[in-house]
Chain A
Amino acid sequence: MGAFGHYLTGHLATLRLEFWSLFVGGVANGFLYGMIAVGYTLVYGVLRLINFAHSEIFMSGGFGGYFVMKALIGSSVPSGMATVGLIVLGIVVGGTVGALVATLLERVAYRPLRRRNAPKLAYLISAIGASYFLFNLAGKEFGRYSLSMPQPYINHPVFTIFGATVQLYYIVIFIAGVVMLFSLDRVVATTKLGRSIRAVAQDAETASLMGVNIDRTIALTFIVGGALGGAAGFLFGLGTGVVYTMGFVPALKAFTAAVLGGIGNLRGAMIGGLLLGVAESLSVVFVQAAYIDVVAFGILVAVLLFRPTGILGERLGRAA
């Protein structure tokens, strides 16, 4: 035992004390990761490529929501129905901007390559180029410093769970996350659009023989993934503010979450997001907060080394 034993017991005591409050914060982050991660996994399903410009979809959604809040919220903080309306509006606008940027990316950065049967590396380079273009454009237009988002409510503890206080901001994320992820799951499992996304993911050519328009399905997949990513950008910005580089770290972590859950697997991305959020949050007991990113990417490396198919495995197009 000795020194390490003391180290461990000390930290475990802290963990016991702080567990629930860290857990609540971790779940909130986890929902955001999950909402971004499904975008990676959906696009991977239909195109077999990682959309590395997804971070900029998230960032644009953040700015979309920011400008709406800025335009609508005056000097007094809204309350009641006005708060609910503003949050819903922020999500809708963030999601719409995210979907638009995703559509643009698909048209400009990916579709021309698909027409030419370009190798996968070309997509990767195209994605990185599009990503640099978009975040620098945002930096040029909106400034290179962080803007705090006008708040549609006064954030306050709403209730406590096992001694941990739960902030209103977290409740907003929980509700939005559950509603969006659950709806997405049902859309993919039961609707005609969902069936066509799964069919293209499993066998695009055969899907076209059934009458599925592959181009249209791919475009719609980008729209769906972009909408959730953009909405997550707004929710993230609500707590942290918006800045042109805001997409990089959360999106890379969400990518980790998608790999952790099994890339191509929709529920895997959701579970991976929640797991990563919680693991990252609890890890502050053991390592300094400054190393929190190391934990997330340590998990990525470990998954890639030991279980590259992720928790649920690569069940492409299953998603149901």
Chain B
Amino acid sequence: MLQVKDAVVRYGAITALHGVSFEVQQGEIVTLLGANGAGKTTTLRMMSGLHAPVSGQILFEDQDVTQTKAHQFSSLGISHVPEGRRIFPQMTVEENLEMGAFVRSGSYADDMAKMYSIFPILKDRRKQLGANLSGGEQQMLAIARALMAEPRLLLLDEPSMGLAPMIVETIFRIIGEIRDSGTTVFLVEQNAAQALRLADRGYVMENGRIVFTDTAQNLLHDERVRAVYLGESVEGA
């Protein structure tokens, strides 16, 4: 479904990604693990046109999207839930969902109703401003907003960040359901244990390079991953 080949991304003089290659197959949940500053968010930003690579190639459904602009991605079928949720603070929940459907023509009332059934709390809050939601509600809204574009590939950047364990459970359960309903998921997470339990495959990133990849099951039991990313957090997470 998506192939990234030898992508190099630079921020001015700093090279953030040193030629990364990976792929995502239809129907998978693929997770990208790595420490802070490893290049995970940069990878996602590259995959939705926010930061074009200086070399390398990105193919989505056999179409070259390497230099495609950010605002064209949601109509191609890729939705990006950005780090820190980035809810429009002065729009209501409902308006935020409408923004998610911005590129769609025709009615999307059914999808709105569907989002409210997946995330009932959003229905209760639908007239409230984004700024007044809790972190968990904002994360749910960010995911619902991205789904309003009817993506075939959903990019998630740290959906568990700053949330209480119970809410994280809910979010991860819903990510699983999103995949089961036919949307492919690419998940960037600090919370490696939880991400690997949900994912099919994983990539591990260090200093702007992908250092190894395996099935999620194997990574969960891999010595190197356990030492660096799971450590004591296996119990805690």
| A211–B88 touching, CB < 8 Å | no
| B100–A210 touching, CB < 8 Å | yes
Within 8 Å CB of A211, what residues of B? 71-75, 102-103, 149
Interface residues in B161-208 by Cβ distance below 8 A to A read none
Interface residues in B54-86 by Cβ distance below 8 A to A read 69-75, 79-80, 82, 86
Asked if B89 CB lies within 8 Å of chain A CBs, one says yes
Asked if A205 CB lies within 8 Å of chain B CBs, one says yes
Asked if A54 CB lies within 8 Å of chain B CBs, one says no
B149 to chain A, nearest CB (A): 7
| B70–A209 touching, CB < 8 Å | yes
| B102–A192 touching, CB < 8 Å | yes
Asked if B28 CB lies within 8 Å of chain A CBs, one says no
Instruction: Across the interface, name the chain B residue whose C-beta is closest to A192.
Output: B102
| B95–A317 touching, CB < 8 Å | no
B138 to chain A, nearest CB (A): 12
Within 8 Å CB of B74, what residues of A? 209-211
| B70–A203 touching, CB < 8 Å | no
Interface residues in A185-205 by Cβ distance below 8 A to B read 192, 195-196, 198-199, 202-203, 205
Q: Mark contacts of A213-225 with chain B using CB atoms, 8 A cut-off: 1 yes-contact digit, 0 otherwise.
A: 1100000000000
Pick the contact of B90: A198, A205, A206, A213 (CB < 8 A): A198
Q: How far is the CA of A316 from the CA of B145 in the complex (A)?
A: 21
Q: How far is the CA of A76 from the CA of B145 in the complex (A)?
A: 61
Asked if A318 CB lies within 8 Å of chain B CBs, one says yes
Asked if A111 CB lies within 8 Å of chain B CBs, one says no
B27 to chain A, nearest CB (A): 23
Within 8 Å CB of B72, what residues of A? 211
| B89–A205 touching, CB < 8 Å | no
Contact A209/B89 with A195-B102, A199-B99, A214-B71 known, Cβ cut-off 8 Å: no
A79 to chain B, nearest CB (A): 47
Interface residues in A269-320 by Cβ distance below 8 A to B read 315-318
Asked if A183 CB lies within 8 Å of chain B CBs, one says no
| A206–B75 touching, CB < 8 Å | no
Asked if A212 CB lies within 8 Å of chain B CBs, one says yes
Contact A195/B95 with A206-B86, A211-B102, A211-B103 known, Cβ cut-off 8 Å: yes
Q: How far is the CA of A206 from the CA of B69 in the complex (A)?
A: 13
| A210–B90 touching, CB < 8 Å | no
Highest count of chain A CB atoms <10 Å: which of B72, B80, B91: B91
Asked if B98 CB lies within 8 Å of chain A CBs, one says yes
Q: How far is the CA of A214 from the CA of B71 in the complex (A)?
A: 8
Q: How far is the CA of A214 from the CA of B179 in the complex (A)?
A: 31
Interface residues in B38-55 by Cβ distance below 8 A to A read 48-50
| B90–A315 touching, CB < 8 Å | yes
Q: How far is the CA of A212 from the CA of B74 in the complex (A)?
A: 10
A129 to chain B, nearest CB (A): 28
Within 8 Å CB of B70, what residues of A? 205, 208-209
Within 8 Å CB of A203, what residues of B? 86, 88-89
Highest count of chain A CB atoms <10 Å: which of B48, B49, B74: B74
Pick the contact of B99: A195, A205, A316 (CB < 8 A): A195
Q: Top 3 nearest A-B pairs by Cβ distance?
A: A211-B103, A208-B70, A206-B86
B contacts, CB < 8 Å to A: 48-50, 69-75, 79-80, 82, 86, 88-91, 95, 98-100, 102-103, 145, 149
